[in-house]
Structure 1
């Protein structure tokens, strides 16, 4: 797949929706890794602070897993009239 969308952007277009959902998931993974790595870094620098961090990490990781399962296993992208030439 090319790195750019070659057709007119339309949310009703199934391949466009699939690509958009996967990009949103990639942004979600990036935000999770960036924020959590920063928080755990400061947690290790100052032990005894951020006692809620393991709960936050577990909750966010759980949501990330649910998001991934939804995108890659459950979500269906039925063909629409836009898909047909």
Structure 2
């Protein structure tokens, strides 16, 4: 069942940004799993009985992508600031937009 959001989605809402970032990370993990399982499947299928690997770059692709995935996880779970203070002007998403003083005021 897909997640439901109780109010209008707004990227300035910290709770929405946190959920959105975690869903993007889940998509990143899924793409990693699907792509690398396919790469390794064909690597092992073609490698059966042969001593030479058909795609010698496969471990580098997996390792590099895994490192990028690890950096993505560190950012999402440790570095990202999902507080209202990190949002533009510090206003909560349900409050009306604030306006600066005009020249005529």
Tell me if both proteins adopt one fold, taking TM over 0.5 as the criterion.
Answer: yes
Q: Size of the alignment, in residue pairs?
A: 83
**Which residue of structure 1 aligns with residue 31 of structure 2?**
31
In 2, the alpha carbon distance for the partners of 1:61 and 1:44 equals: 19
In 1, the alpha carbon distance for the partners of 2:60 and 2:93 equals: 44
Structure 1 stretches of 4+ with a deviation exceeding 4 A read none
**Structure 1 spans left out of the alignment, 5+ residues:** none
How much has 1:83 moved relative to structure 2? Answer: 5.8
RMSD: 1.5
**Structure 2 spans left out of the alignment, 5+ residues:** 48-52, 85-90, 96-105
* Larger helix fraction of residues: 1
TM-score (norm 1): 0.91
How much has 1:3 moved relative to structure 2? Answer: 2.2
**Which residue of structure 2 aligns with residue 81 of structure 1?**
92
**Which residue of structure 1 aligns with residue 59 of structure 2?**
54
In 1, the alpha carbon distance for the partners of 2:94 and 2:37 equals: 41
**Which residue of structure 2 aligns with residue 67 of structure 1?**
72
Larger radius of gyration: 2
Check the 8 A contact 1:12/1:82 in 2, yes or no: yes
Q: Pick 1 or 2: higher relative contact order, CA cutoff 8 A, min separation 6.
A: 1
How much has 1:50 moved relative to structure 2? Answer: 1.1
- State the secondary structure of the residue aligned to 1:81: coil
- State the secondary structure of the residue aligned to 1:11: coil
The one-character-per-residue Cα deviations of 1:15-51 (angstroms, maximum 9, x if unpaired) are 0000000000000000000000011000001122111
